[in-house]
Amino acid sequence: MSEMLPLQVVELTPPGRGAVATLLVEGPGAAALVERKFRACGGRPLRSGAADRLVFGRFGDPPGEELVVHCRSGRSVELHCHGGTAAVAMVEKVLVEFGCRVVPWRDWLGARQEDPIAAAAGAALAEARTEPTAAILLDQYHGALRREFEQIEQALRNHDATGARRRVDALLARAELGRHLVRPWQVVLAGRTNVGKSSLINALLGYGRAIVHPTPGTTCDVVTATTAMGGWPVELSDTAGLRAAEDAVERAGVQRARQQLADADLLVLVFDASKTWSDSDKALLDAWPNALPIDNKCDLLGEAAPTPGQTAARHIPASCRVCSGANRLTTSALTGQGIEALVRAIAGRLVPDPPPPGAAVPFTDEQVQALIGYRASIR
Ligand SMILES: Nc1nc2c(ncn2[C@@H]2O[C@H](COP(=O)(O)OP(=O)(O)O)[C@@H](O)[C@H]2O)c(=O)[nH]1
Ligand SMILES: [Mg+2]
């Protein structure tokens, strides 16, 4: 197949509108092919003069698309054109008419990599949204996970079951982190109506996105927004208040909220610090024992206010099994007090043990399945 269609064009920049799009034309005669439809502004042929030149001109039937051409070699040419989809489509159309095959960038990347883990890491890197997640994927691209798999194989060959098991278990402990390198963690804020969930989302995001209203029950649907917390990508959801809704529309919202809770990686249970602790507050805590409980509106506590982000709220009875003790967070969505501590607490709950630089982290379902397979085979 590659003999029949040796020339290929790959979009190196993501599709959509951008300032500049880059296409790579690769294969024998790539430069000659581009030259057939390219007119350099200076009139000189593309391949005259110094190698690695950048040449500005037009491509295709007159007037043609403006291009900057970088001839890396006779068989590898980069075309930089306007970033709109129409310009890219036009350039590709001309290349296809001359026998070029359009190759998706993932296939192109995969074909260049002998190591399937490095190929998968390269593809995943394009979807990493934050620096820490990209750094972890880059480590896997450079062989961290492949070397660890080799160590496991080596241990198994040496009949070192203990060593193999230890390595497999250490990797499996990072599977959850790996799963989220390209998929944000789902964090849901829940609690009774009017405790300040929507305001907290706004404070966490730093802008007014969620609907905030003094009337209980204004946010009747799930509003989501993606952000980063401690460097980890997080999708925050604001839910309808957890209470028995009388109105049909609101009931649907509450139902969706419960589904959202079931799917969440972390539930932040918000309470109103200015209100007396009630049985329904206690019922919420009992129903979601793994939730991160916080007391909002701490600005209303006046003189009696605990230090934001640290101490137990005064209205919580010491007998409460989840929230007694000093690690109860207090916040004010209004003044911003305790918001940074809340971000740190959320990040700490999502990734309690961040891997050191260079550590192996499995990041695809196949890799995790392979590890589970190893685990089962080790007696
Ligand atoms: N004083 C004070 N008021 C707040 C705070 N957070 C929210 N509110 C107010 O409480 C009301 C309900 O807030 P909202 O975010 O809509 O609550 P939700 O129903 O839980 O989403 C609004 O009037 C907010 O301005 C806070 O930290 N301090
Ligand atoms: Mg709301």
Per DSSP, which regions of the chain are E strands? 8-11, 20-26, 38-40, 54-59, 65-73, 76-82, 101-103, 185-191, 223-229, 232-238, 266-272, 292-296, 329-330
d(CA 101, CA 3): 12
pLDDT of amino acid 318: 44
In this structure, the answer to whether residues 249 and 346 fall within a common structural domain is: yes
Decide if 364 is inside a domain: yes
Q: Residue-wise pLDDT tens for the chain (379 aa)?
A: 444 457 999 999 877 777 899 999 999 989 999 999 999 988 777 776 666 778 999 999 988 999 999 988 888 999 999 988 899 999 999 999 988 999 998 888 878 878 899 999 998 998 898 999 999 999 999 999 999 999 999 999 999 999 999 999 999 999 999 999 989 999 999 888 889 998 999 899 875 444 444 444 444 445 678 889 999 999 988 875 555 445 555 566 566 667 767 789 999 999 999 998 888 888 888 888 899 999 999 999 865 545 554 444 445 544 444 444 445 799 999 999 999 999 999 999 999 999 999 999 999 999 999 999 999 988 7
Three-state secondary-structure class, residue 133: helix
For residue 14, the enclosing domain spans 8-112
- Which of the 8 DSSP states describes residue 244? -
Decide if 77 is inside a domain: yes
Q: Which ligand number lies closest to the CA of residue 197?
A: 1
**Phi-psi category of 29—alpha, beta or left, where left has phi over 0 and alpha has psi -120 to 50?**
left
* DSSP H stretches of helix in 30-130: 30-36, 85-97, 105-112, 116-125
Percentages helix, strand, coil for the chain (3-state, rounded to 5) are 40, 20, 40
In this structure, the answer to whether residues 18 and 30 fall within a common structural domain is: yes
Decide if 74 is inside a domain: yes
In this structure, the answer to whether residues 217 and 325 fall within a common structural domain is: yes
Which of 200, 202, 204, 212 is the best mutation target for the ligand 1 pocket, counting ligand atoms within 8 Å of the beta carbon and taking the most? 212
For the four alpha carbons of 76, 77, 83 and 88, in that order, the dihedral sign comes to negative
What is the residue with the minimal CA distance to atom 6 of ligand 1? 196
Atom from ligand 1 closest to the CA of residue 213: 16
CATH number of 67's domain: 3.30.1360.120
Spacing, Cα 240 to ligand 2 middle (Å): 6
In this structure, the answer to whether residues 76 and 150 fall within a common structural domain is: no
Spacing, Cα 265 to ligand 1 middle (Å): 24
- Ligand 1 pocket, Cβ-based, cut-off 6 angstroms: 193-199, 212-214, 218-219, 241, 296-297, 299-300, 332-334
Q: Which ligand number lies closest to the CA of residue 194?
A: 1
What is the residue with the minimal CA distance to atom 2 of ligand 1? 297
What is the residue with the minimal CA distance to atom 23 of ligand 1? 214
Domain count, the chain: 3
In this structure, the answer to whether residues 345 and 365 fall within a common structural domain is: no
268 and 294 in contact (C-beta within 8 Å)?
A: yes
In this structure, the answer to whether residues 105 and 36 fall within a common structural domain is: yes
Spacing, Cα 199 to ligand 1 middle (Å): 6
Spacing, Cα 197 to ligand 1 middle (Å): 7
Last residue of a domain, one of 96, 112, 128: 112
In this structure, the answer to whether residues 346 and 258 fall within a common structural domain is: yes
In this structure, the answer to whether residues 317 and 191 fall within a common structural domain is: yes
In this structure, the answer to whether residues 57 and 96 fall within a common structural domain is: yes
Q: Which residues share a beta bridge with 169?
A: none
CATH number of 290's domain: 3.40.50.300
In this structure, the answer to whether residues 290 and 197 fall within a common structural domain is: yes
Atom from ligand 1 closest to the CA of residue 217: 19
Decide if 179 is inside a domain: no
Which of 189, 193, 194, 211 is the best mutation target for the ligand 1 pocket, counting ligand atoms within 8 Å of the beta carbon and taking the most? 194
Instruction: Tell which residue, 298, 353, 370, has the closest CA to residue 331.
Output: 298
Task: Compute CA 301 distance to the chain's CA centroid, rounded to the nearest angstrom.
Answer: 37
Spacing, Cα 245 to ligand 2 middle (Å): 14
Atom from ligand 1 closest to the CA of residue 216: 19
Decide if 209 is inside a domain: yes
Instruction: Give the count of alpha carbons within 13 A of 224, CB side only.
Output: 13
In this structure, the answer to whether residues 14 and 95 fall within a common structural domain is: yes
Decide if 307 is inside a domain: yes
What is the residue with the minimal CA distance to atom 7 of ligand 1? 196
Decide if 56 is inside a domain: yes
pTM comes to 0.75
In this structure, the answer to whether residues 318 and 192 fall within a common structural domain is: yes
Which residues lie near ion ligand 2 (Cβ < 5 Å)? Answer: 197-198, 219
Atom from ligand 1 closest to the CA of residue 201: 15
pLDDT of amino acid 306: 52
What is the residue with the minimal CA distance to atom 14 of ligand 1? 196
What is the residue with the minimal CA distance to atom 1 of ligand 1? 297
Spacing, Cα 303 to ligand 1 middle (Å): 20
Spacing, Cα 190 to ligand 2 middle (Å): 9
d(CA 220, CA 372): 42
Spacing, Cα 216 to ligand 2 middle (Å): 8
CB-based contacts of 189, cutoff 8 Å, min separation 6? 197, 200, 201, 236, 237, 238, 239, 268, 270
Decide if 1 is inside a domain: no
